[in-house]
Amino acid sequence: MDGLQDYHNVEFRYVRNSEALALQGEPQPDGSFRYTEPNGRIHTMSPDRVSKFMEQTSKQATIMCDMLEKLKDYENSQAAVDTTVLPA
């Protein structure tokens, strides 16, 4: 009864870290991004994740620009269709 005690506790904790919100925040000196919600919850994106995200976004933007150019070229190459009705 008066000896050492041994406790086993289980704790559950909710943790949320949104990188999308972090990017709405401020860049940090180490290259990461940090955003603090009005309720005090902090969202971060590590320098490594920022670098990888920028690289992937750049690749996707290049693909999108190429697609837009192809669409413009296609639209410009289409001959106008005459829709006037000729008298019979």
pLDDT (tens digit per residue) in 35-87: 999 999 999 999 999 999 999 999 999 999 999 999 998 888 876 666 777 77
The pLDDT value recorded for residue 5 is: 80
Coil, strand or helix at 79: coil
All residues at 6 or more sequence positions from 34 whose CB lies less than 8 Å from its CB, including other chains = 22, 25, 26, 28, 42, 43, 44, 45
| Cα-based distances in Å from 23 to 4, 5, 40 | 49, 47, 16
What is the pLDDT, as a whole number, of residue 79? 65
Separation between Cα atoms, residue 44 and residue 34, nearest integer Å: 5
pTM over 0.75: no
